[in-house]
Amino acid sequence: MDSSLLWQLGILALLLFASAFFSMAETSLLMLNRHRLTILAKEGLRSAKFATRLLNEREQFLGAILLGNTLANAAAATLAAFISIRLFNLGELLMPVSTVLITFAILVFSEITPKVIAARHAEPLALAFSYVLLPLVKLGYPLIWLANLCANSLLRLLGMKVSFTESNHTTSIEELRSIFSETTSPIPQKHREVLLNLLELEQTTVDEIMTVHTQLEIIDFEAPMEEILQQVTDSQHSRLPVRKGPNEEIIGMLRIRAIMNALRKQELSQRLLIQHMEAPYFIPSGTPVYTQMQEFKQCQQRIALVVDEYGELKGLITLEDIIKAIIGDFTSETTEQQQSYRKEDRGSWLVDASNSLRDINKKLGIALPVDGPRTLNGLIVEYFEDIPESGIGLKIGDCKLEIVKTQDRAVKTVRIHP
């Protein structure tokens, strides 16, 4: 075997190595964590800055990769055929065998193996390769520009348009939800729950977390002063809505602490009530919770009354309700809340049917449908299309439900067997 043949074999090995290099570089850079890369670049790591420049100019970077890979593979195939002819001198008879062998070599040594390695060690390889790739992109810019021009012209002729914009690799809401839901995620469970709740705010409306009007504590402006005084004294809230007239129109929100301080100096009267009322803040039903959170901040409000399209009161929502929807209950449960969920010895739960389905699903770890009625009572009434009697059972999804108590044309208590 003469020295020229050895040189040719050496060059063939270098071409295969060059093809493997471009394959590893492409895979490692495309699989690089962009958020991690941004952090490293801000910390001043030079290779991270180079890699960021490459990914920001993705069209040029991919053009350089494809150009180098194609040249290396084409040259390797040609050289392999030439070497085969020299070694065996069989001419055209050996060409198919040579093509199969070089294809196998490129597939194994220049494609599969390098890309598997790059996928497992994306960050260190991408940062190292960026020192080589950035100069190559600059040196080969004229040829890359010409190739991209021809490719884009062909795409326009076919009625297609391709642009490597930032939107091509941004993370969608659904992708974030999937990341946070993974049990293998390094984010602690409690933090994942908060992040998932935040993502759901855009799809959750105020109707789903508000206190419904039937459960509101409301002051009747025209009631006897003794009754109002007792109601104000016993109230656990900072503000109470005040209604007036036969249509029960809400005329204001009474500040409980302020009027209690005023009662030390004077007796309760309608005039005193008016002095310590503030204008009610109304919001339409169906408002997204995320939007309402921004509105609370902008309007410097903490309590809003939810009304339907006819102006009828549907419920009340507070800033605390939104915070609880994000991070869960952060105060000790009151006696009323404890009575809403009572666990029985058999593992079943006695649940107040006025509770929201989302709250029931979270507390009991079940999956009742939330795309229709907001409360358990509404779900059951929709299912039967009537007010069911006590003792009737039903199954919704994987949950068995039993009507325990009905009262005032509504389901009051339900036994749930998760």
Which CATH architecture describes the domain 335-417? 2-Layer Sandwich (3.30)
Tokens of 296: 């609370």
220 has pLDDT over 90: yes
Task: Provide the residue type at 224 as one letter.
Answer: P
Instruction: Find residue 399's DSSP bridge partners.
Output: 396
Question: Which one of 3.90.1170.40, 3.40.50.300, 3.10.580.10, 3.90.79.10 gives the CATH number of domain 206-327?
Answer: 3.10.580.10
Which tokens belong to 355?
């509770």
Mean pLDDT of 85-98: 66
Scanning 58-111, the segments in alpha helix (DSSP H) are 58-88, 95-105
Statement: residue 187 has pLDDT above 80: no
Q: What's the pLDDT band for 329 if we cut at 50, 70, 90?
A: low
The answer, yes or no, to whether residue 363 has pLDDT greater than 50, is yes
- Find all residues with CB under 8 Å of 34, minimum gap 6, and list them: 55, 169
CB neighbours of residue 36 within 10 Å: 12
Element (H, E) at 288: none
Give the whole-angstrom CA distance, residue 120 versus residue 28: 9
Query: Is the predicted pLDDT of residue 6 greater than 60, yes or no?
Result: yes
pLDDT above 90: residue 278: yes
Q: Using 50, 70 and 90 to split pLDDT, how confident is the model at 196?
A: confident
**Residues forming beta bridges with residue 219, ordered by sequence position:** 242
Q: Is the model more confident about 198 or about 404? A: 404
> Computed from CA positions of residues 149, 151, 157, 163, in that sequence, does the dihedral angle turn out positive or negative?
negative
For residue 396, the cross-strand partners are: 399
Tell me whether strands 393-396 and 399-407 are parallel, antiparallel or unpaired.
antiparallel
Most confident of 119-128, 150-159, 337-346: 119-128
Annotated domain spans of the chain = 3-169, 206-327, 335-417
Among 297, 215, 282, CA closest to 251: 282
Higher pLDDT, 344 or 90: 344
- Residues ≥6 apart with Cβ < 8 Å to 276: 254, 255, 258, 259, 262
What pLDDT shows up at residue 91? 54
Written as one string, the DSSP assignment of 112-132 is: IHHHHHHHHTHHHHHHHHHHH
User: With 80 as the cut, is the pLDDT of residue 5 above it?
Assistant: no
Q: Which of 350, 293, 354, 284 is nearest to 312 (CA)?
A: 284
Q: Which CA distances in Å does 81 have to 12, 184, 202, 390?
A: 11, 49, 62, 87
| pLDDT value of residue 193 | 76
* pLDDT band of 158, cuts 50, 70, 90: confident
Q: Extract the runs of DSSP E, i.e. beta strands, from 291-407.
A: 303-307, 313-318, 341-343, 349-352, 393-396, 399-407
pLDDT tens figures, 31-73: 887 778 888 888 888 888 888 888 888 778 888 888 888 888 8
> Distances from the Cα of 261 to the Cαs of 233, 277, 312, in angstroms?
11, 14, 32
Q: Mean pLDDT lowest for which of 3-7, 150-154, 257-261, 347-351?
A: 3-7
pTM of the predicted structure, to 2 decimals: 0.57
